[in-house]
């Protein structure tokens, strides 16, 4: 029986592999009606947030039958991503959307694409210089700040905070930290414990356990992402203290942060928008010859128990 399961699995894998190889060709030939081809270069599909970004791009593009999007995943490899962009240029796509892994090494291929007359939308992370058509991204620092201010208000300006940082060697981690610290400045909020949890839920749980054993009084946990906040909640729950602590996270993906808010696990989750929908909308404008702004900072929403079912509340 085990053998048959295994052989079925192998067969399925083989069929899938073949199908995967054939896909771009058949899609192209089967849809002559598609007017425009967009190349979407994603740096890493290992993170749910980036999976969401691709999903947003796909969903937005499906609303426009004239668009055909080719997705490439660089699997966290700068050189691979560079090759992907060059392939797009060679294939002469009509527009490139790139969410680059790193700024410096991915600037030359983007510049080359621009020289070849292909407009480029840069998503989330930047490239060096101004040789791109449009940058769309959110501002981690502003989101951190907003979270800080919101927390000050929520706690009435007083309380003890545990900050579970993403990774202080990464820009989002630094910005979510410094923004938050600016946001709570002037209040009586004290950060009593702050450590890196490397964006990972199991780590967040371990660190929170340490915080719990050290401090008997914790008002709120501010985690740099929702899984981090969720891990902290699990730790508090195991210690029977989850009712006395508030949990705030960032990202607000529908299946993570928003769902946790709905379940009453998180008090609030701050959206870090993927910009997938906006990329397609602005891309369409570019392709239609409309003028658009070069820098688009995405607005962000906060989801709380009251607002989560209404699609959150826009931050100012």
Partner 1 sequence: MKSWFRHPFARAMAALALVLLLGFIFNADGAFFKWGTHSDMYRAISVYGILACGMTMVIIIGGIDLGVGSILGLSAVLFSLLAIRQGWPPWMAIPATLMAGAVCGLAAGGLIARFRVQPFIATLAMMVFARGLAKWISGGQKISTVIQKANGDFMNVPVPAVFDQLGAKILHGNLAVVTVIFLISIMVCWIILTKLRWGRFMYAIGGNEEAARLSGIPVWAMKLLAYGLSGLFCAVAGICQAAQELQGDPEAGVSYELTAIAIVVIGGTSLAGGRGGIGLTLLGALTIGYLEKILSINAVGEAARLMLTGVIIVGAVLFQRMRK
Residue 198 contacts partner 1 per CB under 8 A: yes
Residue 182 within binding range of partner 1, rule CB under 8 A: no
Of 65, 132, 104, give the one whose Cα is nearest residue 280: 65
Q: Measuring CA to CA, which residue among 113, 110, 114 is closest to residue 123?
A: 110
User: According to the binding rule CB under 8 A, does residue 80 interact with partner 1?
Assistant: no
Which positions ≥6 away from 247 have C-beta within 8 Å?
220, 221, 223, 229, 230, 232, 233, 236, 265, 266, 267
Q: Is 83 exposed, middle or buried (0-12, 13-18, 19+ CB in 10 A)?
A: middle
d(CA 9, CA 169): 41
Restricting to residues 94-113, name those near partner 1 by CB under 8 A.
Answer: none
Residue 90 binds to partner 1 (criterion: CB under 8 A): no
Q: Which stretch binds partner 1 (CB under 8 A): 76-84, 120-128, 250-258, 292-300?
A: 250-258
Counting every residue written for the chain, the total comes to 316
Among 65, 129, 156, 254, binds partner 1 (CB under 8 A): 254
- Determine if 263 is a binding residue for partner 1 (CB under 8 A): yes
Q: What is the Cα–Cα distance from 60 to 199, expressed in whole angstroms? A: 28
Computed over its alpha carbons, how large is the radius of gyration of the chain? 22
Q: Return the number of the residue (116 or 239) whose C-beta is nearest partner 1.
A: 239
28, 102, 139, 194: which one binds partner 1 (CB under 8 A): 194
Minimum separation from the CB atom of position 263 to partner 1 (A): 6
d(CA 46, CA 37): 25
Stretch that binds partner 1, among 31-39, 113-121, 192-200, 267-275 (CB under 8 A): 192-200
| 264-to-96, 237, 258, 268 alpha-carbon distances in Å | 40, 13, 10, 9
| Binds partner 1 by CB under 8 A, chosen from 63, 79, 238, 305 | 238
Minimum Å gap between C-beta 149 and partner 1 is: 25
Q: Given candidates 103, 195, 287, 292, which one binds partner 1 under the rule CB under 8 A?
A: 195
Pick one of 27, 45, 286, 315: the residue that binds partner 1 (CB under 8 A).
45
Question: Where does the chain show beta strands of DSSP type E?
Answer: 36-42, 67-73, 95-99, 120-123, 134-137, 158-165, 188-196, 220-223, 246-251, 268-271, 295-297, 301-304, 313-314
Binding part of the chain for partner 1, among 167-175, 217-225, 282-290, 294-302 by CB under 8 A, reads 167-175
Q: Which of 7, 8, 14, 46 binds partner 1 (CB under 8 A)?
A: 46
Instruction: Give the binding range for partner 1 (CB under 8 A) out of 126-134, 162-170, 267-275, 278-286.
Output: 162-170
Q: Which of 244, 239, 185 is nearest to 214 (CA)?
A: 239
Using CB under 8 A, list all residues that contact partner 1.
2, 5-6, 16, 45-46, 48, 51, 59, 167-169, 193-196, 198, 201-202, 205-207, 209-210, 212-214, 231, 234-235, 238-240, 254-256, 258-259, 262-263
């Amino acid at each position: 029986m085990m053998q048959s399961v295994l052989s079925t699995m192998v067969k399925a894998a083989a069929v899938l592999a073949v199908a995967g190889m054939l896909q771009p060709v058949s899609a192209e030939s089967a849809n002559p009606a598609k007017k425009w081809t967009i190349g979407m270069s994603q740096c890493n599909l290992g993170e749910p947030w980036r999976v969401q970004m691709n999903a947003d791009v796909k969903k937005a593009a499906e609303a426009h039958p004239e668009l055909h999007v080719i997705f490439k995943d660089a699997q966290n490899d700068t050189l691979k991503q560079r090759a992907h962009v060059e392939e797009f240029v060679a294939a002469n796509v009509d527009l490139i959307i790139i969410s680059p892994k790193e700024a410096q090494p991915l600037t030359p291929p983007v510049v080359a694409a621009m020289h070849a007359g292909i407009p480029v939308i840069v998503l989330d992370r930047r490239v060096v210089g101004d040789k791109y058509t449009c940058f769309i991204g959110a501002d981690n620092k502003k989101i951190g700040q907003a979270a800080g201010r919101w927390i000050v208000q929520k706690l009435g300006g007083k309380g003890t905070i545990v900050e579970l940082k993403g990774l202080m060697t990464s820009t989002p981690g630094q910005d979510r930290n410094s923004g938050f610290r600016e946001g709570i400045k002037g209040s009586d909020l004290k950060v009593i414990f702050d450590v890196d949890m490397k964006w990972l839920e199991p780590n967040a749980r371990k660190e929170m356990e340490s915080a719990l054993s050290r401090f008997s009084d914790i008002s709120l946990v501010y985690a740099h992402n929702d899984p981090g906040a969720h891990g902290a909640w699990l730790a508090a729950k195991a210690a029977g203290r989850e009712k006395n602590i508030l949990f705030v996270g960032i990202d607000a993906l529908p299946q993570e942060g928003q769902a946790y808010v709905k379940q009453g696990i998180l008090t609030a989750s701050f959206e870090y928008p993927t910009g997938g929908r906006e990329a397609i909308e602005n891309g369409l404008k570019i392709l239609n010859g409309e003028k658009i702004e070069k820098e688009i900072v995405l607005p962000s929403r906060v989801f709380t128990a009251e607002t989560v079912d209404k699609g959150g509340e826009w931050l100012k």
